[in-house]
Structure 1
Amino acid sequence: MIKRLIVSFISICVVMLIIAIGLDRWISWRTQDYIYDEVQELPYRQVGVVLGTAKYYRTGVINQYYLYRMQGAINAYNSGKVKYLLLSGDNALQSYNEPMTMRRDLMAAGIPSSDIVLDYAGFRTLDSIVRTRKVFDTNDFLIITQRFHCERALFIALHMGIQAQCFAVPSPKDILTVRVREIFARLGALNDLYLLKRQPRFLGPLIPIPAIHNIADDAQGYPAVTPEQLLTLQQTLAAEKKSAEKKTLTSDR
């Protein structure tokens, strides 16, 4: 009896693994025609969306994924393939601000602040892609990130009826662990799109690109979320976290 249960459990795990890999490959196949590896092959788009990631690992070591995305953004801009760079990332904590970090590094590389747009509410890939369309009023844009991330971002865009292409920047050589995690991230994206039908956590006011405005070099940037709205959002996230921790403590008793 126990042997049969073990065999059944292993069989179920194998089937689930095959399905997960199959869905992963399907997403790659579905988006392959919209990905470019060379900057000279890129079509011109007014807006290039740089998907955020941490600049450093917890150990303080520089994140190679971040460096490659910054270099890709610089190459796309300097080659005249994009006019504006929309930096979309997480800013849920005051001590962690992906868009501002990217902005500082891109400005240090010579890109003018007037051509840099900040999206502080790109908490997830889905948020970044949908907000580019609904908040920044841009329906045909270039995504800049690694290929595996390109595929998931483009799949979300296609599902939402958004036109996009992607500039696939290089990945570090040691990518196996990240690639395995990406399979689960894609399953999560499929769940968000087809079952939960999720939308971005926060949208905010419409801010078309370009818009007439002036930004000082030391200013916070081109805000998709006002300081007041960001404070409200931070309070909401803190309340959700506190509620989740309370539920965990209650269930452990």
Structure 2
Amino acid sequence: MHNVMLIWLKRLLMSLGAMLLLATLLFIAGNFWVLATTAAYIERKPQQCLPAKVGIVFGTSNWTRSGVRNPHFHARMRTATTLIDVAQVEHLLLSGDNRTQAYNEPRAMWRELFRRGVDPDQLTMDFAGFSTYDTLVRARDVFQLDKALLITQSWHLPRAVYIGRALGMDVTGCVADDPTINVEWGLRLREWTARVATLGDLYLWGREPYFLGTPEPIELRKRAPIDLILPSLDKRFNP
């Protein structure tokens, strides 16, 4: 009897070990696949990012749990402002979490970008961007975007770009990093796990966004006649 129990215990441990090894291999392969298939669509400097009429800025808290300014939030706002200033994008879709009245990521982004000099006519808020997946599905189905420039950190962009392209959107990524900040290991591990979960969302259990709603196409600001005249005048008087 004792020998039988030992045999079953050995088989159980071997099965658990095989399952753990398989899970580890799938975890590594899933991350490698997302990184490898999106690398060509991501640029690290705003000046190198491909122009797009609309840039999507992903929401995050502007304060950390310890009560200090969140460097990731401000890096995204700084990069988004630069892209507007150099005319790489014409409009920004600010998508984030707004589950409670006390926590409003799109509103915080709007205020910070306005403080940085971005015209409110160039800003649209999406209050139901509860996740990266929700943001991109809503960008496609609610805001009617088939092309966009995604603005977030380098560790987040591969997953965002992968989701967007898997949804049939022509998306590229623009890195919004703060070079003075080291990304915590906990955040890296969470993102590695999220990449694998994303493959399940897309190909296995057919995830739906938390809230979709009716279409609200983004209306780009029309260029005034003077905007069309000035470039030709500039060439005429400053050959």
TM range (shorter): 0.7 to 0.9
Counting aligned pairs with the same residue, the percent is 36
Of residues 129, 133, 136 in structure 2, which corresponds to 1:122? 129
1:25 partner letter: F
Deviations 1:32-90 (A, max 9, x none): 11111111111211101000011112221221211111111111111110011110000
Matching of residues 149-160 of structure 1 within 5 Å: 149-160=156-167
Q: Which range moved further: 53-62 or 2-11?
A: 2-11
Secondary structure in 1 matching 2:155: helix
Which of these two proteins has the greater Rg computed from alpha carbons? Answer: 2
Of residues 184, 197, 202 in structure 2, which corresponds to 1:188? 197
Deviations 1:113-142 (A, max 9, x none): 111110001011111111111111111110
Unaligned 5+ segments in structure 2 are 1-5, 223-239
TM-score relative to the length of structure 2: 0.84
Matching of residues 5-154 of structure 1 within 5 Å: 5-154=12-161
In the TM superposition, structure 1's runs of 4+ consecutive aligned residues that sit over 3 Å from their partners are: 2-8
- Does residue 1:207 correspond to 2:213, yes or no? no
Give me the whole-angstrom Cα distance separating, in 1, the residues matched to 2:169 and 2:221: 25
1:23 partner letter: G
Instruction: State the 1:8 CA deviation.
Output: 3.9
Give me the whole-angstrom Cα distance separating, in 2, the residues matched to 1:186 and 1:90: 20
Instruction: State the 1:184 CA deviation.
Output: 1.2
Instruction: State the 1:4 CA deviation.
Output: 5.1
Secondary structure in 2 matching 1:147: coil
Deviations 1:131-164 (A, max 9, x none): 1111111111100001221111111112111110
Give me the whole-angstrom Cα distance separating, in 2, the residues matched to 1:76 and 1:137: 21
Secondary structure in 1 matching 2:107: helix
TM-score relative to the length of structure 1: 0.79
Instruction: State the 1:11 CA deviation.
Output: 3.8
